[in-house]
Amino acid sequence: MPESLSILKFSGVIDVRSIQKPFQAIKKAAASGRDIQIDLAAVTEIDITFVQLIESARRSAAQAGLGLSLIQPASGMVLATLREGGFLSEPPDARTQFWTGQGQAAS
């Protein structure tokens, strides 16, 4: 793993009752000045609180000149929550592209 990259792996249920741990992890990673990649593959359930946290982190990272990306596009429960919460738009805007990987070059 390059020194300029922090990878955060989240798992299980992330909701309003458990948001503090992901918040602290993102805050610590951002303070390191490294680009951040988020792995959501093991997340089984989320609520809108987690989506709002990631959206806030995405905007803050951009303002600080840091990269924040998902290791893989949102799927399953995460994608369902994004749809239900109205976070995805047609045509895709920057937020939708972040979550779905649309318009991003393949690595």
User: Has residue 10 got a pLDDT over 80?
Assistant: yes
Domain definitions of the chain by residue range: 5-100
- Which pLDDT belongs to residue 67? 94
pLDDT digits 0-9 by tens, 48-102: 999 999 999 999 999 999 999 999 999 999 999 999 999 998 888 999 999 998 7
Rounded Cα gap, residues 84 and 88, in angstroms: 9
What is the pLDDT at residue 105?
43
106 has a pLDDT exceeding 50 = no
- Token output for 48: 């809108």
For residue 81, what are the contacts with CB-CB under 8 A and spacing of at least 6?
Answer: 46, 47, 48, 50, 51
The amino acid sitting at 93 is D
Tell me which fold the domain 5-100 belongs to: Transcription Regulator spoIIAA (3.30.750)
